[in-house]
Structure 1
Amino acid sequence: MCETDTPKTPGWKGWLDLPSPRISGAGGPWIDLSHRLTEELSRIPSFPQPYIRQISRIPDHRANVTEVHMVVHHGTHIDAPRHFIADGPTMDEVPLDRLYGTGVVWHFDVADSGSIDVADLERATPRMRPGDIVLIDTSRSRYINTDRYMQHACLSGEAAAWLVEQGAKLVGIDCPTPDLASPLRPPDFAFPVHYSLLSRGVLIAEHVTNLAPLAGKRAEIMFLGLNIAGSDGAPARPVARVID
């Protein structure tokens, strides 16, 4: 089941030594993996309410200008190691080759507030390879903007460690977090999945969507987050396409 604590808070352990990404030459259509960004989009309750407004509008002004005020973890986004690792790299320090490449998309049928364990990952196909991006589809994204969206499954701590050992480069999931859902966390919750992944430079992508057409397939994936100086994460509009 999903752990609620971790023995200690790790420091930065360095990037995993992974193969360089290669472009596959896939010819299929790109699929948008991001939610449309709105003020009402489901968010972690502790995050402040975002706002999006026009500060300049035609015809009163020469141009339309929109201002966005939100945490970088609102909507579809990437967590940089600095999000939980005090001395980890910030978003502008993440090497570009950590943000794109080939990978696998795995579907798991998981009950509300359930867990994805090592045995589930070991059974998943196609098999992952060192340097893969791993995207996890639980069909939870269809409940966005409802209470049920927050009743998502999580990875076990052992599953997170397994992904590190197998050489995952980025782990994305179609819900708010790969850790225990926020309504179930005790006051001293220690985010074991975030610490396990981010301490070894395995990036985390959250609030991913539209994974069903890719499930059970290898894919070419681009998860290009904004290059924000000193930031612990970044909004992204990721895309993926099936590798024939």
Structure 2
Amino acid sequence: MAPPAHLVDLSWPVHPGMAMFPGDPPMELRPMGSYEPDGFLSHLASLPAHSGTHVDAPGHVLPGAPMLAELPLSRFAGPGVALDLRGRPGLAVTEADLAPHLELLLALAPAFVLLHTGDEARWGQADYYSAGAHLTPSAARLLAGLAGRAGIGPETGPSIETSIETSAEAGLPGIASDTRPRPSDLLSGVRPGLSGIGMDAGSADPAGSHELPAHRALLEAGLVIVENLRGLGQLPRQGFDFFCLPLLGLDGSPVRAAALVPGAAGPGARP
């Protein structure tokens, strides 16, 4: 008999009035059918592809790079690690904030690294996007180095070994560890190596950025980026599987993100 496990919902509900990126049109619902006289209820939903909890494809910022439809479905599921970064000193997630977690990431070789920034608590506030958590370029390059494969852009992130050497030169702990991938106990056929980065914040880059260095570093390494997650505090640090299956095959798509966590759901868990 398989050990008990439970699903944790990591997505924000999609509804009119939901928080949207500045300048994006609002989410709209329009009736298409009603019980009377049509005999059924149906709606037309309209929203930008990068709305709510969503995933970015490499083609989001890189011309000619793959769109979501060109990536295998296995790229959107796999073992995850959740990093609690709520105690960091600044708004941005820096290379120094990630350094204490490198040994774990190298040992586990997860498919997804989920960054718990604490911005979930600010969802819906007027400055959620304009003053939100984000990655510094060096932090993004460090995460891109975990991909462990050739990138798709001209300036892919350094290898994780190079990133660690750079961290050591900067006074951060250097780490040597076995980087061989370790497949999930619950999923088979999921590709080895890092597939994506997720975060409970609105964007990997600060609002107003036109160069989008964090997006470019991650997407050029062939990763996907999942933004606007919630509920990361319900996850263990490791030992769970993460899912972010896209609805659309475009440059981005809303997802129903969830985690499969061993054991029974604890008291107060969101269904």
The question of a shared fold, defined as TM-score above 0.5 by the shorter chain, is answered with yes
Higher mean Cα deviation, 51-60 or 194-203?
Answer: 51-60
Of 107, 116, 125, which residue of structure 2 is paired with 1:137?
116
- For the residues of structure 2 that align with 1:29 and 1:125, how far apart are their CA atoms? 28
How many Å apart are 1:148 and its aligned residue? 4.2
Give the secondary-structure state (helix, strand or coil) at the position aligned to 1:224: strand
Question: Which consecutive unaligned segments of at least 5 residues does structure 1 have?
Answer: 1-24
Q: Is 1:209 aligned to residue 230 of structure 2?
A: yes
Q: Which residue of 1 aligns with 2:212?
A: 191
Deviations 1:88-143 (A, max 9, x none): 11111011121101010111126797111112112138812435201111221122
Task: Please give the TM-score of this superposition, normalised by the length of structure 2.
Answer: 0.73
Deviations 1:164-222 (A, max 9, x none): 11223111111111111x2xx36xx3100111111121100011111101153332111
Q: Is 1:233 aligned to residue 252 of structure 2?
A: yes
Aligned residues: 213
How many Å apart are 1:152 and its aligned residue? 1.5
- For the residues of structure 1 that align with 2:241 and 2:230, how far apart are their CA atoms? 16
Q: Which runs of 4+ in 1 moved over 3 A?
A: 110-113
Identity among equivalent positions (%) equals 25
Task: Please give the TM-score of this superposition, normalised by the length of structure 1.
Answer: 0.80
Change (3 A) 1:154 1:26: farther
Contact 2:59/2:66 (CA < 8 Å) preserved in 1? Answer: yes
- For the residues of structure 1 that align with 2:103 and 2:253, how far apart are their CA atoms? 29
Higher mean Cα deviation, 211-220 or 91-100?
Answer: 211-220
Higher mean Cα deviation, 117-126 or 169-178?
Answer: 117-126
- For the residues of structure 2 that align with 1:26 and 1:71, how far apart are their CA atoms? 39
CA RMSD of aligned residues (A): 2.1
Q: Is 1:171 aligned to residue 201 of structure 2?
A: no
Give the secondary-structure state (helix, strand or coil) at the position aligned to 1:60: helix
Of 3, 18, 29, which residue of structure 2 is paired with 1:41?
18
Larger radius of gyration: 2
Give the secondary-structure state (helix, strand or coil) at the position aligned to 1:135: strand
Structure whose residues are more often helix by fraction: 2
Report the residue type matching 1:237 in the other structure.
Answer: R
Q: Which residue of 2 aligns with 1:20?
A: none
Q: Which residue of 2 aligns with 1:157?
A: 137
